[in-house]
Amino acid sequence: MGLFLGRSIILLLGLFALPTLLGDFWAYQLGLYFLYSIAALGVGICWGQAGFLPLGQAMFLGIGAYLSGFSLIHFQDSFLLLLLLPAAALIPGFIAFVIGLLVFRGHLESGPFFALITLALSLLTFQIATNWVDVTGGFNGLGGIPSLPGLEGFESLYYVVAAVLTISIGVVAWIIKAPIGVIWRGISENEKRLTFFGYDTAFLKALAFGISGVLGGVAGVLYAPHQGLVTPNLAGFILSAELLIWTAVGGRKTLFGPVIGAILVGSLTAELRDVIPIWELMVAALFIFVVLFLPDGIAGWPERLFQRVLGRRFSGDEVNLAVKIGQKSPELELASCSLSIGTVDILNQLSFRIAQPGIYCLIGPNGAGKTSTFNAITGAVKTQAGSINLDDESISGFQSHDVAMRGIGRKFQVPSILPNLTISENLRTALWGGRCSLMDLFHYTPLNWTNTINTDLKERFPFLIEENKPAKELSHGEKQVLELSMSLLGEPRLLLLDEPCAGLSSEETDKVIDTIRWIRSTFDSTILVIEHDMTLVKDIADQVIVMHQGAVLAIGGVKDIQKDSRVREVYVGVSI
């Protein structure tokens, strides 16, 4: 915390010294681009951290500015101003949160869909501001806005803007290093994976958009007294596009990138736009170059160097979480579940029940519907008929994160990890799922959480100790083990494993099998495994469920299944 405060004080002192060094004109110009920087920080949170593109950030800056202007004009001498100005900053954030929640609830991986909606809303806000002449002043804007009470001239307001920028940077720095920042980056990497850890990703993305709206609102609140005039262009698409370009050029994934981009490119634009006729084309070309070849922007390398030289990891005593696995054995029942695509039956009146702890192997030829069964249980697909019950509660139609919160974990056939996050961040993301409250996500304490499984896994698989190694640099087998470890850390009551040993060496396979047995025996858990290796099935299965053409063909012990003539007929030429 001391180093964090020290950096903030140095930054603040540097900003306060600029008017003396550069003069009043540049203090005025920089004050304006400091405000744009605050709004650009919001773009960095959405695009650089959470991975979705907002094309309407200026809309929130404009709303905050209009609300601030109204308040300063009509309540300049009233104590209500102390409430109205904070409200003017928060209202855009609330609007952004609601918009995000509505969009992301309907489209989990919204991508371009969300970007187009924010673009349309920005254009709509511009039209409202232009045509609502009686309130907004129309095209000419809302003028005659006084300064903040007690401040005379833009020189005094500059120091307020500089202080607010410093605070905004500090808040964003805190957020992106806290668990919520790690989760946002995980969402940008592999959103579906996080839903199977129990994260409501739609809510968390809407939260990121809401915070970006607050930052836009804060900038707007100070923009009105700084400029004395608010026009519809402030809320329009052009400024939104400029904020996007500045953020990209500076470095959307870095802390200071949006600030550097807004101040540097914005200031140069103000100076050179009328001097160089093709300046806009040059900026557009720079934007394309950065997106294609310099994804971390101009601040990327310096910021990484700064972190290596002066950075300090959060440290503290490890907090060993209480074991939650094994509290109650799950009872899973699928009753007459059907799913079809066109004329093809994926699941066909599928029915089976698991009521006792143990290792259950789900086998069958390719296309039998095994992975589709997992998809139906975990909410990845919705069955068209039948029901899925967990502990006598219907979970049919539940979202994946709701299913995960009820104690069902999953490992995929192809390793589903967070490739650009470190091994440590992958493991922590899994560990936090279903445990972190919303307040925990903004606190540093969960960074030191661990549990018995985490400790044991690192002993079994030493590569997991290389905490700062990016997950994308692991071998295929190590990625399989990492995802298995992530699936175990949530301590699910029912664990679904889709070919957990696929692509592993003999040594890795033995360790994975031993780990599955350890989980089964230590925590009396229930594990459902899809597996094609019949030797492995014989080795670990307490019960075998055989599927064929989307339905259950046979259920029983390994020896019973070996003797079943129907199973032998399905597995022609395969010895089981």
3-class DSSP state for residue 416? coil
Owner of token pair 């539940």: 398
- pLDDT of 325: 53
- pLDDT of 166: 92
| 138's tokens | 């129309």
Q: Are strands 358-363 and 344-354 parallel, antiparallel or unpaired?
A: unpaired
Task: Give the closest residue to 415 by CA, choosing from 367, 482, 469.
Answer: 482
CATH class of 334-570: alpha beta
Half-sphere exposure of 394 (CA within 13 A, CB side): 9
Q: Which residues, including other chains, have CB under 8 Å from residue 149's CB and lie 6 or more apart?
A: 76, 77, 81
Task: Give the closest residue to 547 by CA, choosing from 528, 520, 525.
Answer: 528
Could you state, in order of their start, the residue ranges of all structural domains in the chain? 2-236, 334-570
Q: What residues does 530 pair with on adjacent strands?
A: 362, 498
User: Can you give the pLDDT of all 576 residues of the chain as single tens digits?
Assistant: 545 555 667 777 777 777 767 667 777 888 899 999 999 999 999 999 999 999 999 999 999 999 999 999 999 888 899 999 999 999 999 999 999 999 998 765 666 789 999 999 999 999 999 999 988 999 999 999 998 988 876 677 888 998 999 999 999 999 999 999 999 999 999 999 999 999 999 999 999 999 999 999 999 999 999 999 999 999 999 999 999 999 999 999 998 999 999 998 888 887 788 788 888 888 888 888 887 887 788 877 777 666 655 455 555 667 888 776 556 788 999 999 999 988 888 999 999 999 999 999 999 988 899 999 999 999 999 999 999 999 989 999 899 999 999 999 999 999 999 999 999 999 999 999 988 999 999 999 999 999 889 999 999 999 999 989 999 999 999 999 999 999 999 889 999 999 998 888 888 888 889 988 888 888 778 999 998 888 888 889 999 999 999 999 999 999 898 888 888 887 764 544
Give 20-29 pLDDT, tens digit per residue: 676 677 778 8
Backbone Cα Rg of the chain: 28
Q: What angle do CA 459, 461, 463 make, to 5 degrees?
A: 110
Work out the burial of residue 391: count CB atoms within 10 Å of its CB; fewer than 13 is exposed, 13-18 middle, 19 or more buried. Answer: middle
Q: Which residues, including other chains, have CB under 8 Å from residue 509's CB and lie 6 or more apart?
A: 501, 536
- pLDDT of 86: 96
Q: What angle do CA 148, 150, 156 make, to 5 degrees?
A: 75
Its pTM stands at: 0.91
Q: What share of the chain is helix, strand, coil (3-state, %, to 5)?
A: 60, 10, 30
